[in-house]
Every structure is written in C-alpha cells, then in structure tokens.
Amino acid sequence: MIKKQHILLFITITFVSLNMSAQDKLLFLNGKILEGEILEQTDYEFSFQDKKNKQYSIDKYRVFSFTKNDKESIVYKYDTLAGNFLKVDDMQLYVYGERDAHLTYNSNFVSAVGIAFGGVTGYFMHKDQSFLYIAAPFVYTTLTLPFGTSIKQQNKIKNKDFLKEDEYLRGYDRVARSNRTTNALKSSFVGMGVGFIISAIVNN
C-alpha cells in the first residue's frame, strides 16, 4: 500500500513538473517575457492566458517570438516601413540582451546611494524649511546618466558568445540604464521622505 502511494506521488510530481516546464512564452520586443498558455493565434494577434488565468489579446507587432513545447518561433519581420529597422538576426541579439538585463541586472548600489542622498537632503529640507531641496532626486538621477553599465552576473547568461555581440550589448545596456535611472529616482525620493520625517521628529 505504501509503495503504491509513493508511486502515485512520484507520478503526480512528475506530471506537475512537466506541466510547469511546458509553459508557453511570449518574448516581447522590449525583452520582457510573459508565461502561460497560447490559446489561439491569428496573423495579427495572440490570445493568451497567463499563470493567473487572466486572458489577453496581444498584437503580434509587439512580440519578437513565442515558445511552445520548448521550441521558439520568431514572428518578428524585418520591415523598414513598419519601423523594424534591424534584420532578424540582429534583432534577436538585441532582444536577448534586453531579456537578460531584465533577468540579471540590478542597481542595488545606485539605490542605496539614492536613499542615503535623499535622506540627507530630506533632513535639511525640513530643518531649513527650504523646498529647493525637492530638486535633489532629479539632480542625483542626472548624475547617474553618464556612467555605463556592465554585465556583472555573467554566470546567469545562457549563451556566453552573446557577450561578444554589439547588438546584444546594446539591448542589455538599454534595459540596464532604464532600470538604473528609474531606481535612482525612486530611491532618492524614498530617502527624502524618510529624511524629512526623521528631521521632523528630531528638530521639533
């Protein structure tokens, strides 16, 4: 009896594992991935159901490729009239770079400095009763713009040969810069709020 239960448990786990690994995927032109199930596709759109059973109609022009049964099929087409200026091979590298940046890049250091910088300016904004400090997050964010990005978690990149490709690096850099800029602005505003509250408590 116990042996039968173990066999049933093994079959159930195997079935669930296979079902999870067999998730369909849409890879968008911005490098983001949506997982779930492709319900239907036409020449112009996908009908898609995500993991939360929410259904979408997604225009194909937003999608680079879809993966079904672990097989990737590219829907992107080189067409300058439609604004698709990169050839398929180049666009594939660019989108893969974006995808890997979404999956691996973090700007923790920039965020930590942003919180500290915002905290100091928020403290003095309350203490000096000067709203000139409100520009500080924008100043900090601007200061981060000239700095380049680097791929630090190279062990998480599936194909190391991509690291030699310019289009891959451009795609990675675009998402990484966007991520860093957003986090710099958010973290400095959060820090400013915290600093303002601390100053209100300490100086009143």
- The one-letter amino acid code at 119 reads G
Q: pLDDT value at position 179?
A: 97
Residue, of 137 and 19, whose pLDDT is higher: 137
Q: Is 22 helix (H, G, I), strand (E, B) or coil?
A: coil
Answer yes or no: is pLDDT of 11 > 90: no
User: Which tokens hold the place of 11?
Assistant: 């079959």
- 25 backbone φψ class: left, alpha, beta (φ>0; ψ -120 to 50): beta
What is d(CA 103, CA 63) in angstroms, rounded to the nearest whole number?
Answer: 18
Q: Is the dihedral of CA 158, 162, 168, 172 positive or negative?
A: positive
What is d(CA 52, CA 162) in angstroms, rounded to the nearest whole number?
Answer: 33
Encode pLDDT of 136-147 as tens digits: 999 999 999 999
Residue 7's pLDDT band (cuts 50, 70, 90): very low
Answer yes or no: is pLDDT of 28 > 70: yes
Q: How many CB atoms lie within 10 A of CB 87?
A: 12
Q: pLDDT value at position 153?
A: 79
Window from 2-6, 26-30, 69-73, 152-156 with minimum mean pLDDT: 2-6
Residue 2's pLDDT band (cuts 50, 70, 90): low
Q: What percent of the chain has pLDDT over 90?
A: 82
Within a 13 Å sphere around the CA of 72, how many CA atoms are in the beta-carbon half?
Answer: 11
Q: Which residue has the tokens 């900090």?
A: 140
pTM of this structure:
0.84
Indicate the domain borders of the chain.
Answer: 2-76, 103-202
What is d(CA 204, CA 202) in angstroms, rounded to the nearest whole number?
Answer: 6
Residue, of 71 and 152, whose pLDDT is higher: 71
Q: CB within 8 A of 184, min separation 6: which ones?
A: 107, 110, 111, 114, 137, 140, 141, 144
Q: Is 182 helix (H, G, I), strand (E, B) or coil?
A: helix
Q: What is the CA radius of gyration of the chain?
A: 23
Q: CB within 8 A of 186, min separation 6: which ones?
A: 111, 114
Q: What is the CATH number of domain 2-76?
A: 2.30.30.100
Q: pLDDT value at position 157?
A: 87
At 22, phi and psi to the nearest 5? -95, 15
